[in-house]
Amino acid sequence: MSNPLKIGIFDSGIGGLTVARAIEDTLPGFSFVYFGDTAHLPYGEKSARLIRHYASRISHHLLDWGSSVVVVACNSASSNALDAVRDAVGPEVPVIDVISPVVDEVARLALGLDRPIRVGVIGTRATIESGVYQSALSTLGAEVKSRATPLLASAIEEGFADGNVSFALLEAYLGDGHFGDVNAFILGCTHYPLIADSIQSFLSPSTQLLDTPAIVAKAVAAAIHDGRQVVGGEPERQFFVSDLTAAFAAGAKRFFGEDVALSARPIWRDQERNPST
């Protein structure tokens, strides 16, 4: 097969590398191209309209770079821009978001309970205010508690993954017992898995934290279950960002779990400098 399947993955920044990591672990033979829109990060504070615009353009680029599957590895984009991504890539390209597979997982958990499942979800302001988690989970009959925790992603990106800063933030966001009685808890942002243990310590020991990256990776595997496999050669892994700084280069390893060579693809500057393309 001369044109092996390549998985396109994007996020507003480097947090989506947690999803890329899980995809590589689940589908080790496949090539992927990752794009982090660091020029526009964070999406979590932006309007739905702007997020849709960015996601649409990025999806076009992922196709240009050879992707035949697109993973929206960003909750803010999954909750605000999934239609825009689908419009951009057309009906032939499967689009996997980070929300639907987790909602499906909640549905499976709910089957084992004799009363409605209670689910907690935290995320950026854009994600929580979109109401997408709340609406999808309510459709299952789940009782949903949600809260925006806007500074958490930036704190993790800055390396405050444990210690007083993340403790004070979690105390401020979770310390009031709002999520005390939930059965399952969704980390609705790709950064949060890095502080999963600290988050668990603010929840009941019986609350099950859902491992979004692994769940999403399984959904990607299911979407390409038609048997197409890479034939021959090493799989290709590309890591692109729209604005490359030393801090992002240094931070990427924490999210991907091994050294990552980010390279710059300033797709917005190209567009602005050469608007006819």
Residue closer to its own copies, measured from CB, 80 or 207: 80
- Name the active-site residue from 189, 210, 220, 260: 189
Write each residue from 30 to 49 as x if it is in contact with its own copies (CB under 8 A), else as -, in one continuous string: --------xxxx---xxx-x
Told to check if 171 binds its own copies by CB under 8 A, we report yes
- Name the active-site residue from 7, 9, 14, 74: 74
CB-facing half-sphere around the CA of 67: CA atoms within 13 A: 29
Told to check if 245 binds its own copies by CB under 8 A, we report yes
Q: How many C-beta atoms lie closer than 10 Å to residue 268's C-beta? A: 16
The minimum distance between CB 12 and its own copies, in angstroms, equals 12
From the list 113, 172, 222, 250, which residue makes contact with its own copies (rule: CB under 8 A)?
A: 172
Binding residues among 105-164 for its own copies as defined by CB under 8 A: 125, 129, 150-151, 154-155, 158, 160, 163-164
CA angle 155, 41, 175 (to 5 degrees): 30
Go through the chain and tell me how many residues it has. Answer: 277
From the list 243, 212, 193, 211, the residue with the least C-alpha distance to 72 is: 212
Q: Contact, 41 vs 12, CB < 8 A?
A: yes
98 as an active site residue: the answer is no
Strand partners, 144: 119
74 as an active site residue: the answer is yes
Q: Contact, 38 vs 13, CB < 8 A?
A: yes
From the list 53, 147, 218, 237, which residue makes contact with its own copies (rule: CB under 8 A)?
A: 53
Residue closer to its own copies, measured from CB, 52 or 118: 52
d(CA 185, CA 192): 12
From the list 119, 121, 140, the residue with the least C-alpha distance to 130 is: 121
Catalytic annotation, residues = 74, 189
Residues binding its own copies (CB under 8 A): 38-41, 45-47, 49-50, 53, 125, 129, 150-151, 154-155, 158, 160, 163-165, 167-169, 171-172, 243-248, 266, 269, 271-272, 275-276
